[in-house]
Each structure stands twice: as C-alpha cells, then as structure tokens.
Structure 1
C-alpha cells in the first residue's frame, strides 16, 4: 500500500524522526523539549506548534523550519506564475557569465522598470503572489540588464527586484533560494548611492535568516547595520529613521522568536522612542516604521513570549490605516493567537476571519494561520460556517 504523505507538522516531525532513527525521548532531548510535547505533536493531540518549538525540532532534525511547517507554493492560476521560475531566475547559471551586448536589447527603460517594481510591491503587499510570480522572472532579467548598462541608475530597481524574489520565495517554502536573492539584493544596493535603501535590504536578509530559524544571526545583522545608520534623533531624516527603526524591530522579533524576553523588550523600548520621534508611520523603500508598526511588532513578540495581555494591549495602539494589507492580515493573526491564549474562542475566530479576508492566496501561505485554525478547531465543539471556511482554505 502506498504511504500517505504527512499533512500536519506533527506527522512531518514523526516521519523525519523515524528516518533518522531517533526515539521520541532522544529527539526531545536533542531539541530541549519535553517528551510529552513531542508525543502530543506527533499524535496530533496538539496540532498547533509554536515557532520556537518548530525551530528547536528543525535544528534537532537537521532541516529548515519550513520543512516541518509544510511550506509550499499555493499560487493562484495566473498565466506564467510558478515559484520554480522565480527560483530559476535567482539561481541562474547565466549570472556567472559576463553580460553580452544582445542581452541589453529592449525593455530597459529605467522609468518603466521602476513602475513595474512598484506594481510588484503592490501585488506582494496585496497578497497577490501568483501575479508577482508571473512578473518576477522577466522583471529580474530586465533590471539586471539595466544594472549592467548603468550601475548607478539600475541599482535601486535591480535591488528591489531581487528583494521581491526573496520575499516571495520565503512564502513559497524556498528559503535557501530566498537567501541567495537577498544577497543579490544587497550586492545591487551596494552599487547605488543610498545607504538607507541598502540598510533595508539587510533587513530582508535578517528576515530570511529568521525564517530559517537562525534567530541569533538575524538579530546580529539587523543590529550591526542599524548601528551603522543610527540617527541623531534631533536631526534624523524620515527615511533614515524608517530604515533604522525597521532594523531594530527585526532584532526584537528575532529575540522574541527564541524566547529572549529581556533583550526583545529592550529593542522594543528603543524602537518606541524612535517611533515617537517619527510621529507617523512611513513605508520607505517598502520597509515600514512608526507608532503603529511598533505596536504590530510588540504584539507579535508578546504573543511569541506567551504574554497575551501585553500583546493585546500593544495591539490597541495599532491603526489599520497605517498598515499595508498583508501587514494588517498578519497582525490580526497575532491577535487571534493572543486571544486563543486567553481562551477567547469567538474573538479569535473573528480575528482569523478578518485576516483571511485580506487575501485567501496569502492566507494559504501562512503556516501561522494554519496553526491558529487548527487550535480553533480543537477548542470548538461545533464548527461555525466561518470556521469551516477557514478550514477549507487549506484544503484547496
């Protein structure tokens, strides 16, 4: 009889454990978790898995956390949309060859390419991953051609095309290719003349490391680059403050993910002071910072640290109009998790429904959303129609 493919994180943990010949007790010891927790996860008695537990188990099993999470491409059927095509555009043997004259023919108008980059970010933050996947391979090629023809003019568009690829590849479960794309974004940014743009590209690299479970390295790179551009608050220009503050928030999230409450709260305090100086939320270089975004990331960190009261208190400071669509959706998932921790099932379900309404395509790519929905199902005696709709999001 053919084996059934594992469909839950717990089943994937069990399969990986058996392939490595570990007993549950041995895996628990390697991961620094209790045997009871490992057993409950493998038997799907406990379906929801915290990020910190997933990272520990991934390390013990020598895989990326995304393998346990079951990340993969769930793109809408847009013509030309394929995550493999984006990966192939990033890990491309032609990049090892010198640019040939014919490579620069056609489609390299700088203004038009920049408009395409802007449309790419609209698709990304709108949760239209299929649209973005269809656009990226050609956009990367044309931006690379422009960059080869004029290093200064092409630096920004090329850097952001690579950055978009890195972000999309993380969501579709290709973290290694995402790291390559993030490195290419930094390399392109280094040929430009804007140190604050370059700093935000390092922020993306930090975010990729976080998704690989490399929280200490994610924190280190964010802090080091933030220190290099640290503003004098009385004389800070807005885009400098955004780049610096966004990096500090990256560091806070990395600390929260590994359970370092003291350091996470220290970073959040620094970011809060910077946001007060900024006064309003901004989205410079497609990095976001300001009072609402400090509230968003404080909610995220406090949820990870299992402090739901503090998470919801921070959430109350967030204004929806300050957030881009998928930022609002991810924030509502954090609200849902905090409400679950407080056993407020109906309110948690409402928050998850609101997150799904942002973009079904985006929602399907969020393992955190799947975890929230699994826990809702476990604690609800009867499935409401809205909860059934949430479950069905992961069955298509």
Structure 2
C-alpha cells in the first residue's frame, strides 16, 4: 500500500486532511499530495510528525519494506536510484522539502541512530526521501555546512547498502559522499568517509586496497602533540580498519601491530567516543582485537582479548557493534568446541538486535555450524535457525 493510502486509511473517520496537517504541523498541501499520489515521499521529520498526529508507530505508517532477496525490483531499488541520481544530466531536480540546517542535523541523527540499531529495513524506506530533502537543502542554502550534511546522508545510504549486499551502489554512494564533503570545510569528515570506503573494499575482499586506503588517510591526519579528541578518534578508527583488512588478508604481524597502535590512541583518549558516526575508544579496540584474532584463527587469544572489554562497554558500543562482538566470541567458542557457550552467545546476539541478525552472514554461519554438532540440537537453536532462514 502506498504511503498516501496508508495516511488516508489511518486518518479516515478520525480527522480531516486539515485536522491532520494542523496536528502534525505540516502543510495541508503536503497531506493532500501524498494522499493523491502526486508525492510519494516526505522528510523523516514530517513523517514522524504525521505518525505522531495519527497516533501510530512510524513503522506502521511507512509499512513493511521488501528486501532484495524477497523482491529484487522493489524496496532497495528506490535506494539504489536515490544514490545514483542524474539531476545534473537531466537538468531537473526532484521536488523535496528544504530543511533548516538544524532540522537536517536532527534528521541525520535519527538516520544514524536507526543504522546503528541494525534496522536496515526501515532505513531502506527512510533514506530515499531523506536524501531528496538533504539535496533540496543544499540547493536552497548553498552553504559548505549543507554540503557536509548531504554527504553524511549519502554516507548513511552507502553504509546501509553494504549491509544489504549492494556493494556497487554502496561504492557509488560513498564516492558521492566524498565529493560532496569536498565542498565543505571539515577535513575530518573527509577522512572518516575514506575510512568507510576502506570498509566497503574490505567487505568485497579487496583487502590490500582497503588497508592502503585507510593507512594513507591515517598518515595525513596522524596527530602529534596536543590534538582534539575527534582527530584522535578518527585516526584510531582508520588504524582499526587497516588492522581488520590486514587480518583478513592473512598478514597477522601487521594486524597485531596496527591493533597495538590503535590501543595506544584509545588509551590517550581515555574513554569511548562517538565522532563522525563511528565509535572509537577502549571498547572498540577490544572488540576489534577479538575480530582480528578470530580472522587469523587464534581463537583462544580471541577469548583472552574479549576479557579486556571494559565493563561499561554497553555505553561505548552501538547496538549493532555489540551484537557483532557477541558473534565473534561465539565463533571462537564454536571452533574451540565450546558449543553451549557459543549457542548462548548467538541467541543473545539475535535477541539483542533481531533486524540486524537477519542480514549477518557470520551469525548464520556460526548457527549452521552449531546445528551440525550432536550436542547443540536444542529447540531454541533450531528456532533461531528458522528465524534466520538457516538450514
């Protein structure tokens, strides 16, 4: 059911179009065009306001989104089109609501919060209209800050597309984000975006290039003397990405050296931080130490590294990162024959972030391996396998 039809369904018999517009704080023209199908999108802020006025959850208003494996021509196609716009070639711009800079910042905060909660289905619906609004904001203001904000929107889109296994569209989105950030004044944003390109290269098996991109950018912003915490955390994030790429490329010594460097940076910061939509600090270093050891086959050392995780890590890592950390630990336990511990960890990860879990091949792989063990055929594990579509 289209968005406008859903709005009409929830509104019908309860309030008029004008009543809804007044209660939501949006124009009646927007409500009318949505219901008539002359507009198919609205900003995330407007959708939130309309959902609140109708007293329904945002997810019910936008409806379920069908993902690539369910319907290749639906859902994710809109996001692919959104990041590969051809406005500059057609000379036409898609109509969108320009936002104030503060509204754009709030919209991005919500999008990134949704991303780090692992709710990729919802992001697939929210990102296309958000990008339209952010581009309209850039056209309306022409300010460097607006360019930085729309760059962050494309960054969120690229990161989401990676999780949806749309690597080509993700690369387009991230390269577009780098180009847009070039019109701004924030050099650390440009550095962080290159770190995300390195991650995208890592996910498609281009390990040497991933490591090279991350290290080259890290060298450019390497802090010396007194430097700001955002610079330190951005530098540390790049080093961690390079370490992960080195581990996946089989360079154990390089990976260990880079993890040690990132640990020194984290110690210098002294606490977990969230700069440029990325977490970095002692918790992130502990998490990536486990990951590096798992990738190099040192499962006992991976579990030793897990013990270095600060007790307050729940506050230092976003939800998706915490679930990934549990999955890495589960893999280590599984390979060491600790099937019960591994089963508990994969179940906890899925319960913690069910939407994230549906898209994670590693979690599915560990679950599949556990199902093959004669002592791990408990109903709870089989139920998990059914939810993850693991045979």
Please indicate, yes or no, whether the TM-score normalized by the shorter chain is above 0.5. Answer: yes
**1:89 matched residue in structure 2:** 82
Q: Distance in 1 between matches of 2:198 and 2:253?
A: 20
Deviation at 1:80, TM superposition (A): 7.0
Q: Does 1:361 align with 2:355?
A: yes
Q: 1:204 aligns with which of 196, 199, 205?
A: 196
Contact 2:293–2:301, Cα closer than 8 Å, also in 1:
yes
Runs of 4+, deviation exceeding 6 Å = none
**1:133 matched residue in structure 2:** 124
Q: Distance in 1 between matches of 2:121 and 2:208?
A: 32
SS at match of 2:258: helix
Flag the structure with larger Rg: 2
Contact 2:210–2:242, Cα closer than 8 Å, also in 1:
yes
**2:246 matched residue in structure 1:** 255
SS at match of 2:271: coil
Contact 1:360–1:393, Cα closer than 8 Å, also in 2:
no
**2:336 matched residue in structure 1:** 342
Deviation at 1:383, TM superposition (A): 1.6
Deviation at 1:388, TM superposition (A): 1.5
Contact 2:164–2:359, Cα closer than 8 Å, also in 1:
yes
Alignment of 1:1-396 (within 5 A): 79=63, 81=65, 82-98=75-91, 106-149=97-140, 150-232=142-224, 234-318=225-309, 319-381=313-375, 383-395=377-389
Q: What RMSD, in angstroms, separates the aligned Cα atoms of the two structures? A: 1.8
CA deviations over 1:268-308 (Å, ceiling 9, x no partner): 11111111101001010111211111111010010011101
Q: Distance in 2 between matches of 1:335 and 1:105?
A: 45
Contact 1:363–1:369, Cα closer than 8 Å, also in 2:
yes
Deviation at 1:336, TM superposition (A): 0.4
CA deviations over 1:177-207 (Å, ceiling 9, x no partner): 0000010111111111111111111111111
Contact 1:295–1:315, Cα closer than 8 Å, also in 2:
yes
**1:30 matched residue in structure 2:** none
SS at match of 1:393: helix
Given the superposition, is the C-alpha separation of residues 105 and 266 from structure 1 closer, same or farther in structure 2, using an over 3 Å criterion? closer
Contact 2:214–2:242, Cα closer than 8 Å, also in 1:
yes
Q: Distance in 2 between matches of 1:182 and 1:391?
A: 33
Contact 1:283–1:289, Cα closer than 8 Å, also in 2:
yes
Unmatched tracts of structure 1, length 5 or more: 1-75
Unmatched tracts of structure 2, length 5 or more: 1-58, 66-74
Q: Aligned residue pairs: how many?
A: 318
Deviation at 1:342, TM superposition (A): 1.1
Q: Distance in 1 between matches of 2:375 and 2:347?
A: 18
Deviation at 1:240, TM superposition (A): 0.2
SS at match of 1:288: strand
SS at match of 2:279: strand
* TM-score for both structures, normalised by structure 2: 0.78
CA deviations over 1:102-143 (Å, ceiling 9, x no partner): x57633322112111110011111111122111100111111
